[in-house]
Amino acid sequence: MVSRPSDVSLDFDKRRRWGILHSVNEYIMLLSHLALFSNAHVVEISSLDMPPHGRCKQPSDFDFGLPQLGQHSTVREVRLRRSGPLPFFHIFPSMEVLRMHSMHTSFEKFDWRQWACTESVPLVDVTADNDDQLVCLAGMRAPTVRRLHLHAGPSRGLGDDFNAACLRPICFVFAIEWWDAPWNTDLPIWSGPLEAIASPAFGGRLRYLEVTAKCHPREETPDLGVDLRLPALRESTLVCMRLNVEVGTLSRDVSEFDGFRMTLAKAVPSLRYVCISVDHNPQTNPFCAHYTDVHGECAWWRVRGRAGVDSERISCEAGERVEEYLHSAEFERTMSLEGLRLDDG
């Protein structure tokens, strides 16, 4: 191709056609030297996995060494879907954003020590289905990330040596299922990970928390103010929390969650900003799980006074500036809100 696109999406079809079927070794080598990536900034790779009963179960099984691989230094974001273990940290050494969805089961069983992320990779933003997929980051020294997004609750975990808290995220995003609350919700399973992420033992870098509550259609407005049993946040240094409520087709608005906002502001002394967003008709697409965007009514407040008793409504534009600043390199460097400007002045 003469064109050198900035966004490239590849879907590997494993069905045998015209008698040609490359091995995984060949695919990875071809991928690393593909001229199509010479100007790419975003790369999506789908359905490139290892054969379930074949070779290539560990790095030593592959027919190439890492020095033989080509590198695509222009790529900043990599999206992986239905894929197995790839040496993507070595093929894309400038990667800042990593999205993983529906990964092959061999991904979590692979020995990533040779192919894991290194300190030279400027990784800042990670999205995964669950903590099992984070195994690729469990190398000699796990990187710190600015933002971590998990779509599903903790599973079996990665052992005592590594978990999501080892990534020390500043911004942590996760979703909860909410049905027949307060008696039936998966919120309590997040208490342990949140406590670890906010713990001083792991650096205590958590400053922004975003939770998406997916309420089933029969569910009335969940009493989040009563059932948000997350004592770890009371001892945290959290400065901003965003709650996205997906309520199906029920007609709700942000005013119905005012009790949650006030309870949260009083319970977390360090809190300075609260956002509540209500989506009346969320669209679920498992193939778009790399992205989170709640469309609906949104409201932002700035918390003032002691124990959060005094709050003022701010515009959504100002709230977006808060989010943007908390995701910035400047905030990661200073861990202070002094550089935040909510208006042009």
Q: Where residue 15 falls among pLDDT bands split at 50, 70, 90?
A: low
- Determine the Cα angle at 153 with ends 100 and 288, to 5°: 35
Question: Using one digit for the tens of pLDDT, what is the confidence trace for 220-248?
Answer: 555 554 445 556 777 788 999 998 887 76
Residue 1 in any domain: the answer is: no
Q: Looking at residues 102-125, what average pLDDT do you find?
A: 88
- Sort 320 into a burial class: Cβ within 10 Å, 0-12 / 13-18 / 19+: middle
Residue 16 in any domain: the answer is: yes
Residue 341 in any domain: the answer is: no
Name the residue among 167, 172, 108 with its Cα closest to residue 136. Answer: 108
Residue 342 in any domain: the answer is: no
Residue 340 in any domain: the answer is: no
Residue 169 in any domain: the answer is: yes
pLDDT of residue 128: 93
Range in 103-107, 154-158, 328-332 the model is least confident about: 154-158
Quickly tell me which residue has 């080598």 as its tokens. 29
Higher pLDDT, 202 or 278: 278
pLDDT of residue 24: 78
pLDDT of residue 184: 52
Range in 40-44, 72-76, 183-187 the model is least confident about: 183-187
Mean of the per-residue pLDDT values of the chain: 79
Alpha carbon of 263 to those of 11, 225, 229, 315, 345: distances in Å? 47, 6, 12, 21, 32
Report CA torsion sign: 56, 61, 64, 65.
Answer: positive
Q: Where residue 42 falls among pLDDT bands split at 50, 70, 90?
A: very high
pLDDT of residue 290: 45
What tokens appear for 301 in the block?
Answer: 């407040």
Kindly report the pTM of this predicted structure.
0.87
pLDDT of residue 138: 79
Q: Looking at residues 114-136, what average pLDDT do you find?
A: 90
Q: Looking at residues 41-64, what average pLDDT do you find?
A: 78
Whether residue 180 has pLDDT greater than 80: no
Q: Looking at residues 37-61, what average pLDDT do you find?
A: 79
Question: Using one digit for the tens of pLDDT, what is the confidence trace for 260-311?
Answer: 788 788 888 889 999 988 876 555 544 444 444 555 678 999 998 655 567 8
What tokens appear for 67 in the block?
Answer: 């020095």
Radius of gyration of the chain (CA): 22
pLDDT of residue 187: 67
CA 187/CA 153 separation, integer angstroms: 9
Higher pLDDT, 31 or 219: 31
Range in 62-66, 75-79, 93-97 the model is least confident about: 62-66
Domains identified in the chain, total number: 1
pLDDT of residue 319: 93
In percent, the amount of the chain with pLDDT more than 90 equals 32
Query: For residue 83, what are the domain limits?
Result: 7-334
Residue 329 in any domain: the answer is: yes
CA 226/CA 18 separation, integer angstroms: 62
Q: Where residue 345 falls among pLDDT bands split at 50, 70, 90?
A: very low
Whether residue 82 has pLDDT greater than 60: yes
